[in-house]
Structure 1
Amino acid sequence: MNNSIITQSARYSISFNGSLIGYFKGKRGIRQGNPLSRFLFVLSMNVLSRILNLAAARGVTIVLDNFYEMSGLKLNAAKCELYVAGISTNILGSITKITGFKQGCLPVRYLGVPLVTRKLSEKDCRLELIRAVLFSVANFWCRQLFVPQSIIKKIEQLCSRFFWKSSDKASTGARVSWATICHSKSEGGLCLKDIKTWNKV
């Protein structure tokens, strides 16, 4: 999806000391990375979902073109992947031919959330908490300062204990070392950041 949203028909006013001053027309959409973009994206996808449901009921096939005309959001087939379940090979072939999308395979991350074919385990949830909370706190410091190695070691120890024991108890008996967990999945890890290397970068 192109995340820019056409706003040329909208008019804006600035609040200055509690009073609205003037009006001006929107010239450019919200860029990717803007804090508002994720909320607008979810709202627009909700509209698309409703349109798709109506189209399925009425047998309409030009939904994406209509959605593009309404919102300015256009699918980029080169960046899109299709995830399906319970569809025959023939139907899947027709869909990929019409849309130009390539078929993806799970697991995959969507808006930061892992999509998997099975129920999330406790370990999956702990892993996401480590990425979203513990690493985010560490990254705040690592981006600006050289963190002492003793602190980095303590952070990794806390992450390891939380992942294996769900508490601050020693993670004795861990099946895999924390260094291995930080490797890429192709190397047998879980693709977590190596805080020491990240701090150097």
Structure 2
Amino acid sequence: MLVMEVLTLIIQQRVRASKTFRYYKHCEEMQLINVCFADDLFNFARGEVESARLIMKSLSEFQRTSGLVPSIPKSTAYFYNVRNHVKHSIRSFMPFVEVKNHIGEGENESLSFAGRLQLCKSVLSSMHVYWALVLMIPIGIIQDFQQHMCGFLWSNGELKHGKAKVAWENICLSKSEGSLGIHSLEDVPIKSDFGSWGWLKLLQIRDLVKPFF
């Protein structure tokens, strides 16, 4: 974690010198760009070419300084509400795989409906719950992820018109109500007693630690 503070300083220095970098809208007030959890690193920026380029240049400088190399196969990029031509430009210099491309591709193409249902319940939903423990996930991202889950379940990819047999809110009812038993992702951060607990605790003490940064 101490080593990753070097990356934070590199990014902050580049941001101060930049006239084009823009924070992700939910991070601007706190000027939040990167967050570390154990072996995981999250970088946030507005979905614009120059902002993404600054992140990549910071990672390259950190690599030269520390000798640490990011694992490309284990690294992913998530785009939300970014125009296709902008996304294409960013991906021309960002080597990370786009997250949603893991759904409905490769070995998942041959899965039956029952297999896709089980994957939604045991893997995709669990991934969201895991990150909700430490992050306050914006409702827009949750809804976007649910849309991809719906498309994967009914169409094994992007949701096609007329393919969904049942409304998503009905799918998320309990099995006792005759539904498929998939949990609504929107209910997790709202109703769970432990959702985003760690992150909320950090927010509560931010005024105490802010003078030390």
TM-score of the aligned structures, taking structure 1 as reference length: 0.37
TM-score (norm 2): 0.35
Higher relative CO (Cα under 8 Å, sequence separation at least 6) belongs to: 2
Q: Which has the higher strand share?
A: 1
**Structure of larger gyration radius:** 1
The structure carrying a bigger helix percent of its residues is 2
